[in-house]
A and B are shown apart, each in its own frame.
Chain A
Amino acid sequence: MNVHWTQKNKLLAPIAETGHCGLFLIRMLSSIRLERGLLISTLQQTYLIGARSLVIIMICGFFVGMVLSLQSINALQQFGASDQVSLLVGKSLFRELGPVLTALLFAGRAGTSVAAEIGLMKATSQIDAMQLMAIDPVQRIALPRFLAGLISLPLLTAMFNAFAILGAVMFSIGVMGLDPGIFWSKLQTGIYFGKDFMGGIWKSVVFGGLVSLIAVYFGYYAKPTGEGVGTATTRTVVMSSVLVLIFDFIMTSFLI
């Protein structure tokens, strides 16, 4: 696989790279073997990139919930409808903000670390050594990290949502003095599990695959130098953020 021939052509290069990345995905998926080793390393990576991102996700979720209810109450008060706040917060959170913000945070926290880690393995010829030992680095290094991202992001999104609702409750009931009964009943009757909550979770599955594919791809094809690793991490954040937002619009227009 060679992408260098298009590098001079600014127009064709992104298309060629997309194709290259797609082939990488196929190669990664075709190397899946149901065995204990893959299970263990996937769980390990899920801990490293998923569980370790938990704290930042919880803190951000909490504050997003608070600011969302602050803005909503402020706007709804003008129509005398501030008791509808939980509905507005819930809908916007579960459908959009939860999956998208979690994916962006995940790209910054976990995507960069994966890209840098794989890039550094390449720079110190550990990937070479692995190939020379007849071990496929795509299967051993890239695949577990990709699967871990796919598993982690939906779970992190659910945590983000939970803490955002907590933040909204604390702010609207605790600070603004809204009636807890109205808050919870509006949330319960107005939000649908399948359409609202799971719709967001399905999005986050796609985002999880997208962000972790980009991270392992850029890491794996990083130039084996310090600068190359730096470029790989930067491109991981930029590309995954942009693509998450683009895919969000595309998916929403089909899901809604």
Chain B
Amino acid sequence: MDIPRGGVVAIMGPSGVGKTTILRLISGQLLPSRGSIEVNGKLISSLSRRELYECRKEIGVLLQNGALFTDLTVFENIATPLREHTKLSEEEITERVLAKLESVGLLGTQELMPDSLSGGMARRVALARAVILNPKIVLFDEPMTGLDPIAMSTVRSLIRETNDQLGLTSVIVTHNVDQMKKLVDHCFILAGARLIAEGSPQSLAQNEDPAVDQFMNGRVDGPISFRYQAATNSLNASGSKP
């Protein structure tokens, strides 16, 4: 799997197929049992903790529920990476944080605590926090799950805007086919822990592979089983009894 620089890329597939695992491998939270991961030319699995942390400064991550620090205000949440990794003065930090908040359309919320934000707002704050250090790569773990349609579209257009403005490489893990068709440049589809197809959303929509067709159109019947493997076996076993 090669992720091209500069675009918005989606890793898609049914739940439990290992999409989030791929993000965790890229960010070095998990080590591969086989194979290797290279990010910005560095072999992630061979880095020491310090080198890995150095490498992660160039990667922004937006976790599934935003994962904002609940004991800090919105402002402090976004300022945390700057305080940790830069030697900017207080004025410069304020300026950059407010500019980022402005760009996600949440200027005025800086003194609120995360628990008083709605799901969509929290996701946008987390996005601002993920890109505050101007990383080269941003990883998104299910950025639209659990949002209403308007918030979903807002987050979607924000991902596209930040990607193009800052020249990022965005990697999105999701199972939302409709939103992806509108957003991404390139798409990988996983099923059964294997890469089954890749290409632009348009080319995938016309792909004739039965598994790809099943996933893209959300059909129940097809090669991808929704049954839990063990359950299928026990059903067969009991079914074969006279």
Residues of A within 8 A of B (CB): 37, 121, 124-126, 128-136
User: Across the interface, do B84 and A125 meet the contact criterion of CB distance under 8 Å?
Assistant: no
Among residues 29 to 53 in chain B, which have CB atoms less than 8 Å away from a CB atom of chain A?
29, 53
User: Across the interface, do B56 and A126 meet the contact criterion of CB distance under 8 Å?
Assistant: no
Q: Which of B57, B61, B64, B70 contacts A126 (CB 8 A)?
A: B70
Closest 5 A/B residue pairs (Cβ): A129-B67, A134-B53, A134-B56, A132-B61, A125-B67
Residues of B within 8 A of A (CB): 27, 29, 53-54, 56-57, 59, 61, 63-65, 67-70, 80-81, 83-85
A126 to B68, CA, bound (A): 6
Give the A-B pair count, Cβ closer than 8 A. Answer: 46
Please name all residues of chain B whose beta carbon is closer than 8 Å to the beta carbon of A136 when the two chains form the complex.
53
Interface of A, helix, strand, loop or mixed by DSSP:
helix
User: Across the interface, do B84 and A135 meet the contact criterion of CB distance under 8 Å?
Assistant: yes
User: Across the interface, do B69 and A126 meet the contact criterion of CB distance under 8 Å?
Assistant: yes
Please name all residues of chain B whose beta carbon is closer than 8 Å to the beta carbon of A129 when the two chains form the complex.
61, 63, 67-69
**Given known A-B contacts A134-B53, A136-B53, A125 and B64 have beta carbons under 8 A apart:** yes
Please name all residues of chain A whose beta carbon is closer than 8 Å to the beta carbon of B68 when the two chains form the complex.
126, 129
Q: Which of B63, B67, B83, B85 contacts A134 (CB 8 A)?
A: B85
User: Across the interface, do B29 and A135 meet the contact criterion of CB distance under 8 Å?
Assistant: no
Please name all residues of chain A whose beta carbon is closer than 8 Å to the beta carbon of B65 when the two chains form the complex.
124-125
Please name all residues of chain B whose beta carbon is closer than 8 Å to the beta carbon of A132 when the two chains form the complex.
27, 29, 56, 59, 61, 63
With both chains docked as a complex, state the minimum distance between the C-beta of B16 and any C-beta of chain A, in angstroms. Answer: 18
Name A127's closest neighbour in chain B (CB-CB): B67
Please name all residues of chain A whose beta carbon is closer than 8 Å to the beta carbon of B56 when the two chains form the complex.
131-134
Please name all residues of chain A whose beta carbon is closer than 8 Å to the beta carbon of B64 when the two chains form the complex.
125
User: Across the interface, do A133 and B70 meet the contact criterion of CB distance under 8 Å?
Assistant: no
A124 to B54, CA, bound (A): 24
User: Across the interface, do B80 and A128 meet the contact criterion of CB distance under 8 Å?
Assistant: no
A61 to B186, CA, bound (A): 68
Please name all residues of chain A whose beta carbon is closer than 8 Å to the beta carbon of B81 when the two chains form the complex.
133, 135
Please name all residues of chain A whose beta carbon is closer than 8 Å to the beta carbon of B85 when the two chains form the complex.
134
Extra inter-chain contacts (4) besides given A37-B83, A129-B68, CB under 8 Å: A129-B63, A129-B69, A132-B63, A136-B53
User: Across the interface, do A135 and B67 meet the contact criterion of CB distance under 8 Å?
Assistant: no
Q: Which of A37, A121, A131, A134 contacts B29 (CB 8 A)?
A: A131
**Given known A-B contacts A131-B29, A132-B61, A133-B56, A126 and B80 have beta carbons under 8 A apart:** no
With both chains docked as a complex, state the minimum distance between the C-beta of A248 and any C-beta of chain B, in angstroms. Answer: 34
